[in-house]
Amino acid sequence: MKALRCTVHGSLDDLTVHEIPEPVAGPGQVVVEVRAAAVNFADILVVQGAYQVAAPVPFTPGSEFAGRIVRAGPDVEGFAPGDAVSGSVFVGAFAQRVVAPATSLTALPPGADLRAAAASGVSYATAYHALTLVAELRAGETLAVLGAAGGVGLAAVQLGRLLGARVIAVASSERKRGLCLEEGADVALPYDDLKRRLADAGGADVVLDPVGGDHAEPALRALRWGGRYVTVGFAGGEIPRVPLNLVMLKGVSVRGFEFGGWARNEPEALARGRADLAGLFLTGGLKPHIHAVYPLEDAAGALAAVAGRSSAGKVLIVPAAPDGPGGGHG
């Protein structure tokens, strides 16, 4: 089968498509034919060797996918070949087929839009858990979202609206800010003079920050008394240093969300959150915004679009099946 391969940590330009052996399903695992895989910023960090957990080279990048099961290993219950599923892995999704633990999969109904399913997983789960479990966002509060046109950011805009918050979106271009308004933001702001702009917009009770860098401190300064600042990543490339005197003087708290820690320490809370989020997709009208779809042969270009922050919403990679055309909506 074909797969995008990283043979040395570093530049996205070094990624190339190779023919490699198809994966084999071990106990509790399934092999999924990938119809669509979504690009997340963490995938770029893994390729660069800058993620919290290293992937030994060579490896196939990619963490989020949707497709159909082609083989199930021993001890797999509840899934069978032909089932439509979405799922996540640490690496391996930017390929025609991926092996994954059955416990990491979500069953999809017949005829599900597999591109939408691939685009709906990690970003929405990150935003939802960060807003509900960590920020404890309440109806009537004001939520400011940095990087609001990115995958996690746009999911947070939509979810903040459904949770009853007033949403301030912060994004880098007029085009991105327009998209945020279309997706439910009440106000859309640029980054320049961010503290004043957020203050003029009334301040925020909660800041959700997937960007970090120089934007963190002005957003922290714009929090209202007792506000919550939640970090979920550093897409800006720099981990900010926060002046703790601001935390003390404003009575605010700085919190973080990362799946691994919650999965190890509070898996029941994550399970409840996943169930609640699934209900919102069924009843709340959530729909991911897909910015662009790339073939596997241009997967490096898909990662570059996300790394360069030129995309809005989700970027997908659609492989062709090993024995014929693939991708599409089912």
Q: Round to whole Å and give the CA distance between 16 and 297.
A: 8
The residue type at 123: S
Q: Are the beta carbons of 168 and 187 closer than 8 angstroms? A: yes
CB burial string 139-149: b at 16+ within 10 A, e below = eebbbbbbbbb
Q: Round to whole Å and give the CA distance between 178 and 196.
A: 21
Query: Minimal CA–CA distance to 262: which of 85, 156, 132?
Result: 132
Give the predicted TM-score (pTM) of the model: 0.86
Helix (H, G, I), strand (E, B) or coil at 8: coil
- Four-CA torsion 81, 87, 88, 94, nearest 10 degrees: 60
The residue type at 75: D
pLDDT on residue 170: 98
pLDDT in tens, the chain (330 residues): 999 999 999 999 999 999 999 999 999 999 999 999 999 999 999 999 988 889 999 999 999 999 999 999 999 999 999 999 999 999 999 999 999 999 889 999 888 899 999 999 889 999 999 999 999 999 999 999 999 999 999 999 999 999 999 999 999 999 999 999 999 999 999 999 999 999 999 999 999 999 999 999 999 999 999 999 999 988 888 899 989 999 999 999 999 999 888 988 998 999 899 889 888 887 877 899 999 999 999 999 999 999 988 889 999 999 976 654 333 333
Distance in Å from the first CA to the final CA of the chain: 20
Q: Round to whole Å and give the CA distance between 6 and 228.
A: 38
Helix (H, G, I), strand (E, B) or coil at 186: coil
